[in-house]
């Protein structure tokens, strides 16, 4: 996959050529047009990623994600209050000039908690998804490539696993190993592994019947080389799409765990935990304690979905 | 320019007024914000009852022309100039409703893939009946009409076919149903876009016969679009040759093909192996250069950059149509010199002494392969490939030719009892268990380079891999061999850094050939290596294969459904039918005859540019299923020469050596076959399909 990439065209300039290489009519002869034809085709390849930058959805999603990343990394530097500081005299305050998002029952600043609440989610989510993608890709490649009884057996296990509700599996894990950033990452990673494996397997099944796989058998290539050197690069687009889609679900999964109390433990600021702690206050009219963390969740999930969607559109174009 | 073009076209027409007049039509596609002309200034007409052929290679714009006529262009395409008149009506100015009526009553289209023209979730009967219902018949009458129509397209049991779903029909049967639907409303113009390209030779012959007969019966005008010059020659009264979106030559079909006057037509015809051409005597001519990129803006003649006759004038001034013969026009200033167009590739073969054909290299004994569900893809095939020869493997789809290749290579395991030997040593049925030396000896060039070349690797790594894996090369020797290889397949250094997606079809196939030859194989299996390529590219690849054989003393197993190619390249031929070798022999002997009745049928089925052979025999019905092959001789269900004694139905004939080196699997003695095939045209016999 190394090798020199063809030189990209001037950015922004509309490519004057068709992405499809012209048909070779040379006969044995390679005329001067070859250079033009070849150059034309090579300019088209990196264009896919440029197409991504042209999509509004990608920009909107990307900027929101970036905003939360900044909050997660630098949020503690610019929060108006210490998110853990309790001011019992000003508890349950509605949004005001002093507390833009109001305060919670312990008098903590909701805005500060929402900003710093991004941190654990943005650590767990990508790590868990990367873990799931690595394991799922390896498993899916093996299932698709070897087929036969191995595929059948693993497929049945995957299906059985998928039939169990996510919360139950997570609950069992947390009870067994305890809730921490590390354990939640591993739980979500493992739960998502079969889903990714299933997608990768499907993509591999398509590739496995391509003639280049037969060719590598005729070259005496080992299975690992065929899987990782030949097939994997061709299923990468499917994996990238699956990764971004899973990222959105992972945000949701972290929040769900926190909400159920199996995730990030109080008093660490966290959107799911805070909603769980405060939603009973809705009845008393303290809507800001629930609404703002909920909006944060919604914005992050939506933003990741927008990015995922635009990547999928570009890769499948 | 346009006036003499239109007048020459219209002079050919009967007084009744043509069914289709296209004048000065431009078609534009808008791609990434830019307009590109796909067709420019195209004018032609189809007279009433006439059959007009539009021929061209891929990218010439022939399908665009067909879509434009009925306004089926994709949303980014439009007719940007000129006029169209169908039966005196102008589809370009019509509203939706009128257009719908026009498509329903006046004009019909048949496409390449019959499977895609039929609704897979509806039975065939209601789909045909619907056409009649749209035309105003009651549902009962429509069903009766549908049945009637199916009978007209020679479907012997219409009732049964009407209850089928499209996927239950074979390709030939489905195409007949589509033709039945197209003719249901007695359209005045029938557009056929590559209608037989997806079909086997014997089925193609039948469908073409059917179209010809129906044209007589319905008095329909036909616009026949094809890349296959021989099919056009057989089916059409007049022909127009399209190149890069322009019509370059037009005239009566026979006349254009016998006496072409545009350099492109001349070059195209020279790319096709003709009767009598052989790899050891002749090289095919080629057309240098490339098709201009779509939307090109050349000031002069579109063909000038590739034309050996081109002068300065051709590059600055677009040539008009010249009358070059009776009703024949060519868009070339130098049409008088066109027949003497200098060759792009010398006709003589490189003066290398061939070492001749050596001893047996690969031998196959009682090779059988049964797939799941009892499909007998191969049933007891014996054959020998000698060192240095090309063994041609001919057969229609389902004959087992690709299975045979894959078994030889160890990609599919044969049934127990099958033996494949390389220089006398038995080979493992699984490539993974074969030693490196055996892997090196047997390599393959697949049909479709898009599938055979990993699109994520560069040309360099694709070609180097066998050199490291099988020849054990690295460092300087590897670089040297790489340089030598790409030179011998006529690629250049700059191609090494590219990926397959950046190469054209012909260049991709060269990469695949270089890879197969990399480690110095003893035998290369060529599985339809040119069937995905255009004619002019095919010629170059065939020349390359012939040259490599001389230089590297390679042995080929050449698989093709195209008899012309097999004849050009092969020393010996094996004809497969339903997994059995029906005839084996030296190429010239097999072609000269006497042949097995199936071989005979194949020869009669394939249209030829060298005048039509007398249609001696026609097969009817479809190739039987390999899961349930007929008893006795597997060919008896379609054999026009079946013996009345019943022996063909009961006993499978052995493959007997009738002449030295010439084996035929038939109950009829060779002397009698010779007699039959020389004298009397066999009666066309209905197979009990």
The total of structural domains in chain B comes to 4
Phi and psi at residue B553, to the nearest 5°: 55, 45
Chain B CB within 8 Å of residue A27 CB: yes
Same domain, A38 and A179: no
Chain A to chain B Cβ contacts (< 8 Å): 175
Average pLDDT of chain B is: 86
In the stretch 146-185 of chain A, residues with CB closer than 8 A to chain B read none
Please count the residues of chain B: 689
Nearest CA among B283, B243, B290 for reference residue B262: B243
> Distances in Å between the alpha carbon of A241 and those of A198, A203, A237, A244, B150?
13, 12, 6, 5, 49
DSSP state of B681: P
Structure confidence at residue A47 (pLDDT):
62
Structure confidence at residue B355 (pLDDT):
59
Residue B511 is assigned to a structural domain of this protein: yes
Q: How far apart are the first and last CA of chain A?
A: 22
Chain B CB within 8 Å of residue A224 CB: no
Q: Report CB contact under 8 Å: B498, A22.
A: no
Same domain, B178 and B202: no
Shortest CA distance from A28: residue in chain B: B540
Tokens 């930058």 -> residue? A53
Nearest CB to A26; choose among B288, B470, B515: B288
The total of structural domains in chain A comes to 2
Q: How far apart are the C-alpha atoms of A177 and A41, rounded to whole Å?
A: 54
Q: Report CB contact under 8 Å: B504, A218.
A: no
Q: How far apart are the first and last CA of chain B?
A: 54
Nearest CB to A31; choose among B33, B288, B458: B288
- A60's CB contacts (< 8 A; 6+ apart) are A303, A306
Phi and psi at residue B250, to the nearest 5°: -150, 145
* Packing angle of the helix pair B459-469, B505-518 (nearest 10 deg): 20
- On the question of pLDDT at A45 being above 60, the answer is no
Nearest CA among A218, A34, A83 for reference residue B444: A218
Q: Report CB contact under 8 Å: A28, B58.
A: no
* DSSP string across A75-99: HHHH-SS-TT---GGGTTPPS-SSS
Confidence tier at B16 by pLDDT (50, 70, 90): low
Chain A CB within 8 Å of residue B503 CB: yes
Structure confidence at residue A37 (pLDDT):
36
Tokens 């060759």 -> residue? B343
Same domain, B487 and B366: yes
Nearest CA among B566, B66, B669, B558 for reference residue B278: B566
- On the question of pLDDT at A129 being above 60, the answer is yes
Same domain, B238 and B106: yes
Structure confidence at residue B236 (pLDDT):
93
DSSP state of B155: -
Same domain, A97 and A145: yes
Residue B354 is assigned to a structural domain of this protein: no
Angle at B623 between CA B684 and CA B578, to 5 degrees: 120
Range of the domain at B158: 116-186
Write down the ipTM of this complex. 0.80
Task: Using the 3D structure, point to which of B577, B605, B625 is the last residue of a domain.
Answer: B577
- On the question of pLDDT at A61 being above 90, the answer is yes
* Packing angle of the helix pair A232-260, A288-315 (nearest 10 deg): 170
Distance from CA of A234 to the nearest CA of B (A): 7
Q: Select from A7, A9, A22, A23 the residue whose CB has the most chain B CBs within 10 Å, as the one to mutate to test that interface.
A: A23
Q: Report CB contact under 8 Å: A26, B503.
A: no
Q: Report CB contact under 8 Å: A217, B432.
A: yes
Residue B605 is assigned to a structural domain of this protein: yes
Same domain, B177 and B193: no
Tell me if the bond preceding B594 is cis, omega within 30° of 0: yes
pLDDT tens-digit profile of B311-360? 888 888 889 999 988 889 999 999 888 888 888 888 776 655 455 778 89
Chain B CB within 8 Å of residue A315 CB: no
Tell me if the bond preceding A267 is cis, omega within 30° of 0: yes
Mean predicted confidence (pLDDT) in A283-289: 88
Structure confidence at residue B9 (pLDDT):
41
DSSP state of A230: I
Same domain, A223 and A151: yes
Q: What percent of chain B has pLDDT above 90?
A: 35
Nearest CA among B331, B334, B335 for reference residue B8: B331
Same domain, A40 and A127: no
B391 alpha carbon, distance to own chain's centre: 20
Same domain, B489 and B606: no
Mean predicted confidence (pLDDT) in A197-215: 93
Residue B247 is assigned to a structural domain of this protein: yes
Confidence tier at A317 by pLDDT (50, 70, 90): low
Same domain, B64 and B175: no
Task: Using the 3D structure, point to which of B169, B186, B203 is the last residue of a domain.
Answer: B186
B302 alpha carbon, distance to own chain's centre: 26
Q: What Rg value do the Cα atoms of chain A yield, rounded?
A: 25
Phi and psi at residue A204, to the nearest 5°: -65, -35
- On the question of pLDDT at A6 being above 60, the answer is no
In the stretch 381-410 of chain B, residues with CB closer than 8 A to chain A read 406, 409-410
Q: Report CB contact under 8 Å: B293, A37.
A: yes
Structure confidence at residue B14 (pLDDT):
38
CATH number of the domain that B7 lies in?
3.40.50.300
Mean predicted confidence (pLDDT) in A52-58: 87
Q: Report CB contact under 8 Å: A3, B448.
A: no
Structure confidence at residue A36 (pLDDT):
35
Nearest CB to A211; choose among B446, B460, B492: B446
Same domain, A84 and A35: no
Nearest CB to A18; choose among B293, B491, B492: B293
Same domain, A29 and A163: no
Q: How far apart are the C-alpha atoms of B141 and B138, rounded to whole Å?
A: 5
Q: Which two tokens stand for residue B151?
A: 């009978």
- On the question of pLDDT at B560 being above 80, the answer is yes
Q: Which two tokens stand for residue A123?
A: 């650590």
Task: Using the 3D structure, point to which of A8, A33, A54 is the last residue of a domain.
Answer: A54
Q: Which two tokens stand for residue A297?
A: 């969740």
* Contact yes or no for B538/B271 (Cβ under 8 A): yes
The runs of H, that is alpha helices, within B392-534 are 401-409, 436-441, 449-452, 459-469, 475-488, 505-518
DSSP state of B659: E
Residue B304 is assigned to a structural domain of this protein: no
Residue A101 is assigned to a structural domain of this protein: yes
Same domain, A283 and A189: yes
Mean predicted confidence (pLDDT) in A293-309: 92
Question: Going by DSSP bridges, is the β-strand pair B246-252/B238-243 parallel, antiparallel, or unpaired?
Answer: antiparallel
Q: How far apart are the C-alpha atoms of B25 and A42, rounded to whole Å?
A: 33
Give one word for B579, left, alpha or beta, with left for phi > 0 and alpha for psi -120 to 50: left
Mean predicted confidence (pLDDT) in B582-609: 87
Give every strand in the sheet of B34-46, ordered side by side.
B34-46, B20-31, B77-86
Same domain, A225 and A277: yes
For chain A, how are helix, strand and coil distributed in percent, rounded to 5?
A: 70, 0, 30
* Contact yes or no for B539/B244 (Cβ under 8 A): no
Q: Report CB contact under 8 Å: A3, B461.
A: yes
Q: What is the pTM of this model?
A: 0.81
Same domain, A121 and A179: yes
Same domain, A63 and A179: yes
- On the question of pLDDT at B682 being above 70, the answer is no
Exposure class string for B652-688: b at 16+ Cβ within 10 A, else e: bbebeebeeebbbbbbbebeebeebbeeeebeebebe
Same domain, B550 and B605: no
- On the question of pLDDT at A17 being above 60, the answer is no
> Distances in Å between the alpha carbon of B454 and those of A24, A140, A213, B525, B647?
19, 20, 8, 19, 51
- On the question of pLDDT at B574 being above 90, the answer is yes
Residue A9 is assigned to a structural domain of this protein: no
> Distances in Å between the alpha carbon of B126 and those of B26, B142, B162?
39, 9, 8
Q: How far apart are the C-alpha atoms of B21 and B47, rounded to whole Å?
A: 9
Residue A109 is assigned to a structural domain of this protein: yes
Task: Using the 3D structure, point to which of B141, B162, B186 is the last residue of a domain.
Answer: B186
- On the question of pLDDT at B610 being above 70, the answer is yes
B15 or B49, greater pLDDT:
B49
pLDDT tens-digit profile of B155-204? 878 888 899 999 888 888 888 899 989 888 888 899 999 888 878 888 88
pLDDT tens-digit profile of A62-107? 999 999 999 999 988 888 888 888 888 888 888 888 888 888 888 8
- On the question of pLDDT at B103 being above 90, the answer is no
Range of the domain at A140: 58-315
- Other CB atoms within 10 A of residue A47 CB: 17
Q: Report CB contact under 8 Å: A23, B57.
A: yes
- Other CB atoms within 10 A of residue B336 CB: 13
Same domain, B549 and B629: no
Chain A CB within 8 Å of residue B504 CB: yes
Q: How far apart are the C-alpha atoms of B619 and B638, rounded to whole Å?
A: 6
Q: Report CB contact under 8 Å: B290, A23.
A: yes
Q: Report CB contact under 8 Å: A26, B506.
A: yes
Structure confidence at residue B684 (pLDDT):
46
Q: What percent of chain A has pLDDT above 70?
A: 85
Same domain, B197 and B80: yes
Confidence tier at B87 by pLDDT (50, 70, 90): confident
Residue B641 is assigned to a structural domain of this protein: yes
Same domain, A285 and A300: yes
Distance from CA of A296 to the nearest CA of B (A): 38
Q: Report CB contact under 8 Å: A233, B456.
A: yes
Structure confidence at residue A294 (pLDDT):
92
Residue A3 is assigned to a structural domain of this protein: no
Same domain, B131 and B29: no
Q: Report CB contact under 8 Å: A24, B455.
A: no
A40 or B637, greater pLDDT:
B637
* Contact yes or no for B626/B376 (Cβ under 8 A): yes
Q: B533 burial class (0-12, 13-18, 19+ CB within 10 angstroms)?
A: buried
Q: Report CB contact under 8 Å: B458, A3.
A: yes
Same domain, B406 and B436: yes
CATH number of the domain that A209 lies in?
1.10.3720.10
Beta-bridge partner residues of B34: B31
Q: How far apart are the C-alpha atoms of B205 and B607, rounded to whole Å?
A: 8
Structure confidence at residue B443 (pLDDT):
93
Mean predicted confidence (pLDDT) in B439-445: 93
* Contact yes or no for B526/B549 (Cβ under 8 A): no
Confidence tier at A229 by pLDDT (50, 70, 90): very high
Q: What percent of chain B has pLDDT above 70?
A: 93
* Contact yes or no for B65/B242 (Cβ under 8 A): yes
Same domain, A27 and A63: no
Residue B310 is assigned to a structural domain of this protein: no
For residue B37, the surrounding DSSP H or E stretch is strand B34-46
Q: Report CB contact under 8 Å: B490, A30.
A: yes
Chain B CB within 8 Å of residue A26 CB: yes
Residue B620 is assigned to a structural domain of this protein: yes
Same domain, B496 and B527: yes
Chain A CB within 8 Å of residue B286 CB: yes
Structure confidence at residue A165 (pLDDT):
85
Confidence tier at B659 by pLDDT (50, 70, 90): confident
């Amino acid at each position: 996959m190394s090798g020199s990439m063809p030189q990209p065209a001037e950015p922004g300039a509309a490519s004057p050529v068709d992405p499809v290489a012209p048909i070779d009519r040379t006969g044995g002869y390679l005329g001067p047009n070859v250079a033009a034809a070849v150059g034309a085709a090579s300019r088209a390849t990196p264009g896919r990623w440029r197409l991504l930058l042209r999509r509004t959805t990608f920009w909107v999603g990307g900027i929101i994600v970036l905003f939360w990343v900044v909050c997660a990394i630098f949020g503690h530097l610019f929060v108006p209050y210490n998110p853990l500081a309790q001011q019992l005299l000003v508890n349950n305050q509605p949004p005001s000039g002093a507390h833009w998002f109001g305060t919670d029952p312990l008098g903590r600043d909701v805005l500060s908690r929402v900003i710093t609440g991004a941190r654990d989610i943005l650590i767990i989510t990508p790590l868990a998804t990367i873990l799931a993608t690595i394991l799922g890709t390896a498993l899916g490649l093996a299932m698709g490539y070897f087929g036969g009884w191995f595929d059948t057996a693993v497929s049945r296990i995957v299906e059985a696993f998928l039939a169990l509700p996510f919360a139950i599996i997570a609950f069992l894990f947390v009870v067994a190993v305890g809730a921490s950033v590390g354990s939640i990452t591993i739980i979500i990673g493992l739960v998502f592994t079969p889903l990714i494996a299933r997608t990768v397997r499907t993509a591999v099944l398509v590739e496995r019947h391509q003639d280049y796989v037969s060719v590598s058998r005729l070259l005496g290539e080992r299975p690992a080389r065929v899987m990782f050197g030949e097939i994997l690069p061709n299923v990468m687009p499917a994996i990238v799409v699956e990764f971004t889609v899973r990222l959105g679900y992972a945000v949701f999964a972290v929040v769900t765990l926190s909400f159920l109390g199996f995730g990030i433990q109080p008093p660490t600021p966290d959107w799911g935990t805070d909603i769980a702690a405060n939603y009973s206050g809705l009845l008393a009219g303290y809507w800001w304690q629930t609404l703002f963390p909920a909006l944060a969740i919604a914005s992050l999930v939506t933003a990741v979905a927008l990015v995922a969607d635009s990547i999928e559109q570009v890769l499948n174009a | 320019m346009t006036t003499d073009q239109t007048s020459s076209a219209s002079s050919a027409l009967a007084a009744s007024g043509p069914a289709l007049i296209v004048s000065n039509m431009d078609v534009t596609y808008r791609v990434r914000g830019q307009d590109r002309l796909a067709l420019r200034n195209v004018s032609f007409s189809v007279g009433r009852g006439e059959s007009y052929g539009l021929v061209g290679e891929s990218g010439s714009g022939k399908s665009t022309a067909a879509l434009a006529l009925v306004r089926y262009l994709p949303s980014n395409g439009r007719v940007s100039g000129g006029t169209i008149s169908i039966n005196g009506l102008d589809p370009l100015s019509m509203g939706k409703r009128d257009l719908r009526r026009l498509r329903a009553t006046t004009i019909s289209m048949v496409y390449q893939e019959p499977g895609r023209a039929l609704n897979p979730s509806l039975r065939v009967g209601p789909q045909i009946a619907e056409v009649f219902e749209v035309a105003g018949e009651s549902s009962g009458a429509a069903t009766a009409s549908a049945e009637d129509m199916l009978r007209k397209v020679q479907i012997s049991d219409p009732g049964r076919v009407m209850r089928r779903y499209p996927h239950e029909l074979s390709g030939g049967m489905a195409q007949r149903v589509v033709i039945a639907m197209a003719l249901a409303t007695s359209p005045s113009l029938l557009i056929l876009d590559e209608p037989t390209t997806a079909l086997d030779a014997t089925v193609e012959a039948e469908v073409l016969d059917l179209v010809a007969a129906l044209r007589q019966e319905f008095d329909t005008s036909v616009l026949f679009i094809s890349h296959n010059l021989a099919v056009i020659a057989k089916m059409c009264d007049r022909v127009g040759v399209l190149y890069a979106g322009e019509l370059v030559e037009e005239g009566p079909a026979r006349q254009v093909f016998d006496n072409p006057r545009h350099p492109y037509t001349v070059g195209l015809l020279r790319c096709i192996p003709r009767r009598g051409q052989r790899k050891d005597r002749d090289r095919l001519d080629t057309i240098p250069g490339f098709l201009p990129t779509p939307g090109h803006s050349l000031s002069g003649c579109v063909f000038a950059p590739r034309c050996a006759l081109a002068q300065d004038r051709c590059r600055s001034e677009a040539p008009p149509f010249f009358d070059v013969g009776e009703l024949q026009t060519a868009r070339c200033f130098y049409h008088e010199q066109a027949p003497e167009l200098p060759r792009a590739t010398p006709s003589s073969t490189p003066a290398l002494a061939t070492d001749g054909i050596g001893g047996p290299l690969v031998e196959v004994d009682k090779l059988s392969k049964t797939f799941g569900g009892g499909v007998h893809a191969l049933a007891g095939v014996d054959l020998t490939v000698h060192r240095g020869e090309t063994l041609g493997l001919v057969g229609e789809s389902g004959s087992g030719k690709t299975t045979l290749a894959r078994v030889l290579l160890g990609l599919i395991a044969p049934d127990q009892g099958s033996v494949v030997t390389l220089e006398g040593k038995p080979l493992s049925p699984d490539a993974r268990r074969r030693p490196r030396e055996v892997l090196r000896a047997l390599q393959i060039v697949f049909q479709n380079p898009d599938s055979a070349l990993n699109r994520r690797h560069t040309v360099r790594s694709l070609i180097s891999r066998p050199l490291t894996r099988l020849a054990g090369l690295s460092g300087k020797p590897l670089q040297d061999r790489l340089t030598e290889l790409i030179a011998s397949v006529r690629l250049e250094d700059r191609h090494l850094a590219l990926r397959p997606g950046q190469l054209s079809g012909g260049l991709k196939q060269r990469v695949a050939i270089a890879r197969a030859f990399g480690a110095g194989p003893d035998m290369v299996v060529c599985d339809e290596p040119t069937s995905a390529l255009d004619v002019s590219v095919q010629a170059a690849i065939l020349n390359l294969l012939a040259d490599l054989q001389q230089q590297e003393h390679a042995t080929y197993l050449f698989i093709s459904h195209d008899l012309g190619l097999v004849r050009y390249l092969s020393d010996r031929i094996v004809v497969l039918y339903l997994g059995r070798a029906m005839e084996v022999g030296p190429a010239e002997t097999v072609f000269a005859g006497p042949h097995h009745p199936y071989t005979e049928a194949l020869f009669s089925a394939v249209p030829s540019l060298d005048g039509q052979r007398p249609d001696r025999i026609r097969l009817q019905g479809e190739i039987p299923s390999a899961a349930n092959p007929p008893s006795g001789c597997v060919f008896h269900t379609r054999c026009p020469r079946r013996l009345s004694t019943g022996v063909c139905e009961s006993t499978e004939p052995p493959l007997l050596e009738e002449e030295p080196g010439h084996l035929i699997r038939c109950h009829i003695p060779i002397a009698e076959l010779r007699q039959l095939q020389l004298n009397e045209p066999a009666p066309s016999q209905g197979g009990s399909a």
